Amino acid sequence: MDEKKIIFSGAQPSGKMTLGNYLGAIKNWTDLQNDYDCFFSVVDLHAITVPQEAKVLRENAKKLLAQYIACGLDPEKNTIFIQSHVKEHLELMWILNTMTYMGELSRMTQFKDKSQKSEANLNAGLFTYPVLMAADILLYQTDLVPVGDDQKQHLELARDLANRFNNRYSPTFKIPEGYFPKGGARVMSLQEPTKKMSKSDKNENAFILLEDDPDTIRRKIKKCVTDSEGVVRYSNEQPGIKNLLEIYSSLSGKSIDDIVGMYEGKGYGIFKEDTAEVIVNTIEPIREKYLYLLNNKDYLENIYSEGAKKAEAKARKTLRKVYKKVGFLERKY
């Protein structure tokens, strides 16, 4: 029987996950767990490139772990772990740092954007975190990495570094490919539907959180920006309605054409109400399980402890090969 291909992905522990995060990533991850050997990480090392309050960061890591599981990631089928609990990530990063060119990192779009916005926190971690991301991926001999448009550059760096190491020494790393799930939704802001939904938006009505209660969800959908046409139609000229149609379709499984047909001759009011209920029907069970898990500290600790053991065993095999090829003496203790 052929071995399953390996997938690696991770998210930073911000404490908040939006409907956009769910439809754009997590929902797709749950579809992968039966067919792939999946490693899903809470990447807390990446989070500290901006100042964090220690207590809040710890709580946010637990919250993200609970949301992973509440959304349907099965700890029995996947390796779910906290990034900082597997020290091999940082050890491989150092090796890869010595093979990464300054020019490569300076061309990273996200670094350029962040450096233009603020020089106050322009630390070395912001500059080199793509190397840590490459280490995250290569440690597990990853075949596929679910990526969005904003992460393609980072995947390309991981591929370049894998090839560079393999050519300098000998074949060691798999060359990872991007995984682009079919039907992955790009959820837009409810207040500015030409922009991607973001939890950092200053307007709380612009996004829906997985921990929002039903009344909050209904209120946000009722207030979402549409247009004055009054016709439910899938058109770039009506970005607000287009966004709601894509959300409705992704959560209900109905085609957009079928949904448009359902609301022919009807106004936006009933369409918004029904869209809100489709969202509530998906999110409320997730929210209830999430709150239950947060109150089961021992269970969560067991999940991330066992996950770290499994991840470390896989990562250690790769790092031993790397250390030997680089020329480090083998540890005898």
Q: Which residue has 């009011």 as its token pair?
A: 269
Catalytic member of 199, 254, 289, 310: 199
Show the tokens assigned to 285.
């069970």
Phi then psi dihedrals of residue 34, to 5 deg: -85, -20
| Spatial distance between the Cα atoms of 209 and 216, rounded to a whole number of angstroms | 9
Show the tokens assigned to 74.
């099965």
CA dihedral (287, 290, 296, 298) in degrees, to 10, reads 180
| Spatial distance between the Cα atoms of 216 and 315, rounded to a whole number of angstroms | 42
Residue-wise DSSP of 28-61: HHHHHTTTSEEEEEE-HHHHTTS---HHHHHHHH
Catalytic member of 5, 77, 114, 254: 114
The answer to whether residue 324 is catalytic is no
Helical H segments across the chain, by residue range: 19-21, 27-32, 44-47, 54-70, 88-97, 102-106, 109-117, 124-138, 152-168, 214-223, 239-252, 256-262, 268-294, 297-326
The answer to whether residue 310 is catalytic is no
Residues counted in the chain:
333
Sequence letter at residue 191: Q
The answer to whether residue 196 is catalytic is yes
- Secondary structure of 89-105 as H, E, C letters: HHHHHHHHHCCCCHHHH
Catalytic member of 63, 196, 242, 272: 196
Contact in structure between 38 and 7 (CB atoms under 8 Å): yes
- Strand 6-11 vs strand 37-42: parallel, antiparallel, or unpaired? parallel
CA distances from residue 69 to 75, 187, 189, 237, 295 in whole angstroms, order as listed:
7, 22, 25, 38, 14
Q: What are the residue numbers of the active site? A: 114, 196, 199
